[in-house]
Chain A
Amino acid sequence: MDLTLWTYEGPPHVGAMRIAASMEGVHFVLHAPQGDTYADLLFTMIERRDRRPPVTYTTFQARDLSGDTAELVKRHVREAVDRFQPDALLVGESCTAELIQDQPGALAAGMGLELPVVSLELPAYSKKENWGAAETLYQLVRGLLQHLRPGSTDHDPCAWRRQERRPRVNLIGPSLLGFRCRDDVLEIRRLLEAHGIEVNAVVPLAARVTDVERLPLADANVCLVPEVAEPCCTWLERHFGQPFTRTVPIGIGATTDFLKELHSLLGLEAPDPREAQRQSRLPWYAASVDSTYLTGKRVFIFGDGSHALAAARIAQQELGFTVVGLGTYSREMARPVRAAARELGLEALITDDYLSVEAAMADAAPELVLGTQMERHSAKRLGIPCAVISTPMHVQDVPARYAPQMGWEGANVIFDSWVHPLMMGLEEHLIGMFRHDFEFVDDQPSHLGHLGSADTAKPSGSDFDAAGSEPDPAANLNVELQWTRDGEAELKKIPFFVRGKVKRNTECFARQQGKYQIDSETLYDAKAHFNT
């Protein structure tokens, strides 16, 4: 039993719903009690979709449990097939139905329906949403294609040359409730077209059963969203011999690597390495003088596996930030995230407890947080600017404008959305230069709202304790520290956007030194201490 106040991922059947709802002509019968119908609003409100997800819930009640719930399942399956006439049917169960062991998949399979029926096993007490999405996509693809003769021995990803056609690939993994998937698909399509590569099928987003059936016609697969696509891509490789790309094209370096990898899989000549400079503004914007202020800005990164990994690379290599924290809630991706963290000299934070993420964030005292909506909230409380880089989704993450994360335009979007929460370069310099002028109002409102001011930059005592931060046993935490008038005056001279951090560092230093009073000298001592 784990105590959760907020969760990064839903249950696995929500992952299955994401696949069904992403596709056309696929219906999902979910054996579940009425409360589980809340999941519809994830699609109709968060994604702002104009139609209900194609899901029929059996909505069994307590009084049904004493009767024949199996008959209830069959009735709903029959009604759903009659009403929606799907091309394929998914049948699964939610956490409560799993306990009553009706095996709805087997029941549906025994009904003699004249359409493909895919039975899903979604262990709700050990797995989560992304796993459910990946498993459903894999089962659906396998269910529709496994009868085809495997061609693994003779699949040639370069056959396009012999057949005098353009090479073609499948884009696998983009789905509803995936971070910016809608725009990423457009961007990657555009990118591939510019390189003369055709997109054969996109699955599952907007795919029909016929698109799934066309998957084997591609020369190679692009594993666009590994959290959702990897088991499917692996099976396609095993069954049909289709190789797939491992690089997720988020950021300049990753997009370049992705193109290189795909070109090599397809036997194409390597693309021009200068393409990034020509196609994206990020490299020049990052090199321009205004970006000097970005140097060494400390960033804390937390999100799903792919986005966290991509963010770490972009932050460090493409924007010149210093990564001071890296983690993910995707346990499936723990290994690569750990490796990336190690390379940055960090220990990765692998957890789905947002309170420990908040504690780690507070501890790292970053100047920018790249996280999920939950980190946005934690960062707001700590007075730190934040940009959202990953699911779980919020209605804000489905913008009206075109805002991909992948490819060249994705890099532009990322530059803007990460850099804007920070104070811009020239602005930061000017505030530093003019802060002694009388026009400079100390607590003037900033983009951080009231949280940028001195009093709130420090997390309040109770909030901080609630965050479960580990007290340092050596520190005399219970002693009230006092700032002298002189110390406070000196502290006020520090720009408000770093004042909270300086204050905290100084207090920490004072405690280590066994000091109870902080004057300007202590502040400078601390400054020297932390600069070394």
Chain B
Amino acid sequence: MLTNLLKESGPREVFCGLTSIVWLHRRMPDAFFLVVGSRTCAHLIQSAAGVMIFAEPRFGTAILSERDLAGLADAQEELDRVARDLLQRRPEIRTLFLVGSCPSEVIKLDLARAAERLNASLSGRVRVVNYSGSGIETTFTQGEDGALAALVPTLPARDEPQLLLVGTLAHAVEDRLITLFQRMGIATVRSFPPRLSTDCPPVGRGTRMLLCQPYLSDTSRELQARGAELIRAPYPLGAEGSRLWMEAAARAWGIDEPIIRATLDPLSARARQALEPHRQRLQGKRIFLLPDSQLELPLARFLHRECGMALVEVGTPYLHRDLMEEELKLLPADTRVVEGQHVEQQLDRVRQAHPDLVVCGMGLANPLEAEGIATKWSIELVFSPIHGIDQAGDLAELFSRPLVRHGALAFA
């Protein structure tokens, strides 16, 4: 187990949970995410999402004004009005997420009550659920955990055997994984979140689930409370992690080893081939991961074991030991893992170590580039289809590209 595990506290530079909306709204196009918050919240998702690329985004903000702060009863009425206006303008919406923010949490605006009331008055036409994406409670990817956990109570109950893949995946990756599971003999494979918010998978005692993302602790707990069983495995990043992840499910289904090997061996061989050119570029290079998406530990494991990179420091916004157990086992025992952040002190360490590559949030990337340190936006890793054995080469390419680019430029 790791010996070099540290905690740091101080000023942080991590997105808040509202940012998850940016990929969730694309996953479920019949859903709308209504942030109940301030102008800052609206500006945040617009800036973080480059929202201007969407003509009519499936998220918006109900901006609190001084009038709303004066009396809370008033704010509840206002919220009803805004929700109604919105649903009138966007009749195609089937699920409305009321998303709590820092200001709505601080003034204790009761979104659960608002959701209940709206559900009653909309009488089943639109389902309204609520969760918090506030920056005082959640970081970045935790927003997805909140949104999914809020959906769990709406899932139908059924005890039939099924494999449930939990966490947002790119469509193509999802299709591929389902095909592979079925090839091994797992007949019923479903995903949560679904591609349509109205197409929710059932859950019950026959459900065994694999987490596709490591940040889904609340969701996983809620699903377990509904009877689902969690299959423990590393996360499906890289050829090795993905294989262990798939094998864990196959074994839970009692599938014969020869079938597992026959299905996965060719994939592993192909992945090795795809990884090779990137491995050559990345081998021996030193990487520093700043805390952001919670993918840092699985990525560090992949970069070290499959790409031969040296891990200078692996930051993580918070460490959920239970869900990360399988990952921690695969990291070198002396890996410096830092939970939390003091961004200034951490950047001092970055400068001191002068790594070859830093994985960081968007606000820090250019300043580090200007200091001569190659960077990779961590948000890109949340958006890109990187899960599964077949994607291992693409995943490695995301890290080798900045180095290739640094080598390619010459101005002398």
Contact = CB atoms under 8 A, between A and B. Distances in A.
A125 B66 contact: yes
Given A44-B362, A51-B367, A3 B82 contact: yes
A429 interface: no
Given A7-B43, A34-B13, 12 more contacts: A2-B62, A2-B82, A3-B60, A11-B39, A33-B102, A37-B12, A38-B15, A39-B43, A76-B11, A125-B64, A125-B65, A377-B52
A126 B14 contact: no
Contacts of A40: 13, 363-364
Interface stretch (B130-138, B233-241, B243-251, B386-394): B130-138
B134 A33 contact: yes
Nearest to A123: B66
A59 interface: yes
A61 B47 CA distance: 22
A58 B13 CA distance: 10
Contacts of A430: none
A35 B44 contact: yes
B106 interface: yes
Interface of B: 10-19, 34, 36, 38-44, 46-48, 51-53, 55-57, 59-66, 68-69, 75, 78-79, 81-82, 85-86, 89-90, 102-103, 105-107, 134-137, 139, 344, 361-367, 369-370
A57 B11 contact: yes
Contact of A96 (B62, B79, B106): B106
A466 interface: yes
A83 interface: yes
Interface string A33-73: 11111111110111011111000111111101100000000
A460 B367 CA distance: 43
Contacts of A33: 16, 102, 134-136
17 contacts: A1-B68, A1-B75, A11-B38, A11-B43, A34-B135, A41-B48, A42-B47, A49-B366, A83-B344, A99-B106, A99-B107, A123-B66, A125-B66, A373-B52, A374-B52, A466-B56, A468-B89
Nearest to B74: A1
A35 B135 contact: yes
A45 B106 CA distance: 30
A501 B47 CA distance: 33
Contact of B52 (A1, A6, A60): A6
B61 A51 contact: no
B136 A61 contact: yes
Contact of B61 (A4, A9, A374): A4
A31 to B, nearest CB: 11
Nearest to A53: B363
A358 to B, nearest CB: 9
A2 B63 contact: yes
Contacts of B51: 6
B40 A10 contact: yes
Interface of A: 1-7, 9-11, 13-14, 33-42, 44-46, 48-52, 56-62, 64-65, 76, 79, 83, 94-96, 99-100, 123-126, 128, 373-374, 377, 381, 394, 463, 466, 468
B136 A10 contact: no
A383 to B, nearest CB: 13
A46 B362 CA distance: 10
Contacts of B34: 3
A76 B103 CA distance: 22
Contact of B12 (A1, A59, A100, A463): A59
A95 B102 contact: yes
A1 B40 contact: no
Contacts of B66: 123, 125-126
B410 to A, nearest CB: 18
B173 to A, nearest CB: 27
Contacts of B59: 5
Contacts of B42: 4, 6-7
Interface centre among B46, B65, B79, B105 (most CB of A within 10 A): B46
B102 A45 contact: no
A396 to B, nearest CB: 10
A60 B102 CA distance: 11
Contact of B363 (A3, A11, A48, A52): A52
B55 A100 contact: no
A34 B317 CA distance: 11
In this complex, which of B34, B38, B64, B136 has the most chain A Cβ atoms within 10 angstroms of its Cβ?
B136
Given A44-B363, A126-B66, A3 B52 contact: no
Contacts of B17: 35
B136 A96 contact: yes
A466 B90 contact: yes
A457 to B, nearest CB: 16
Contacts of A94: 40
A430 B34 CA distance: 50
A381 B310 CA distance: 48
